[in-house]
Homo-oligomer: A and B are copies of this chain.
Amino acid sequence: MKIAEPTVERLVQYHRLLEQLYNEGQKVVSSQEIGEMLAFKASQVRKDLSYFGEIGKRGVGYHVEKLYRHIDGILASPRKWPIALIGVGRLGEALLGHKAFKSPKFDIKALFDVNPEKVGRKIAGISCYHVDDISDVMRKNGIEVVILTVPSSVAQECVDKIVQAGTVKGILNFSPLSIVAPDSVLIYSVDISVELEKLLFYLKHREER
């Protein structure tokens, strides 16, 4: 089963919404309601959920808790992911403070930077190492996932060190430059400039119509 990226994106969004509804005590939800809350078509919601094996009852909808647990199982991690963050600048620090990193799915084991005021210290309770020690520290800690928040100019250099470690399976890249790695390392890029450009393009496009 190969799942397309937009489907995974929607799956994660269903999961989050259902968690919210479940915590609020809602018992059932219709595809129309889900669609409205997430700005998807109801038909898309039904198609996605039936693809993952859940079919709502006509006129009733989906059982919130059951659907939540079902999607939770699909997204569940088989184990805690050992993670490192490289680049403890403003963006790196903002991410460290982000609720996403409080998830039980992963464990931030190491930070890396070049700033002498940061290297050798603990930041948010996590040891910060020099980027020169990436390969060593990654191997010692069995780091599998890296969050990369370094300036573009050093991004590829860091990736090369990460690849050299041999333990890393995925990189979440926030650097605005294209980076390359062998197929064994999955790169997933979030580029804030690209997101802004996309929004502006849509706004321009709307005005032109």
- The residues of A with any CB-CB pair to B shorter than 8 Å are 3, 5-6, 8-9, 11-13, 15-17, 20, 37-39, 75, 77-78, 81, 89-91, 93-95, 97-100, 103, 105-106, 144-145, 147, 169-170, 172, 176-178, 180, 186-188, 190, 192-207
Do residues B186 and A145 form an inter-chain contact, with CB atoms below 8 A? no
Residue among B187, B188, B200, B202 making CB contact with A106, cutoff 8 Å: B200
Q: How far is the CA of A140 from the CA of B31 in the complex (A)?
A: 41
Given A12-B194, A190-B190, A198-B188, A204 and B94 contact (CB-CB distance below 8 Å): no
Residue among B8, B98, B193 making CB contact with A100, cutoff 8 Å: B193
Nearest CB in chain B to that of A89: its residue: B94
Do residues B172 and A196 form an inter-chain contact, with CB atoms below 8 A? yes
Q: How far is the CA of A199 from the CA of B75 in the complex (A)?
A: 11
Q: How far is the CA of A188 from the CA of B203 in the complex (A)?
A: 11
Do residues A195 and B188 form an inter-chain contact, with CB atoms below 8 A? yes
Choose among A94, A103, A180, A202 the residue with the greatest number of B CB atoms under 10 Å from its CB. A94
Extra 5 A-B pairs, beta carbons < 8 Å, given A89-B94, A145-B199, A188-B198: A8-B198, A12-B194, A16-B178, A98-B192, A188-B202
Q: How far is the CB of A87 from chain B (nearest CB, A)?
A: 11
Do residues A13 and B194 form an inter-chain contact, with CB atoms below 8 A? yes
For A78, list chain B residues within 8 Å (CB). 204, 207
Do residues A145 and B200 form an inter-chain contact, with CB atoms below 8 A? yes
Do residues A193 and B103 form an inter-chain contact, with CB atoms below 8 A? yes
Choose among A3, A8, A199 the residue with the greatest number of B CB atoms under 10 Å from its CB. A199
Q: How far is the CB of A166 from chain B (nearest CB, A)?
A: 16
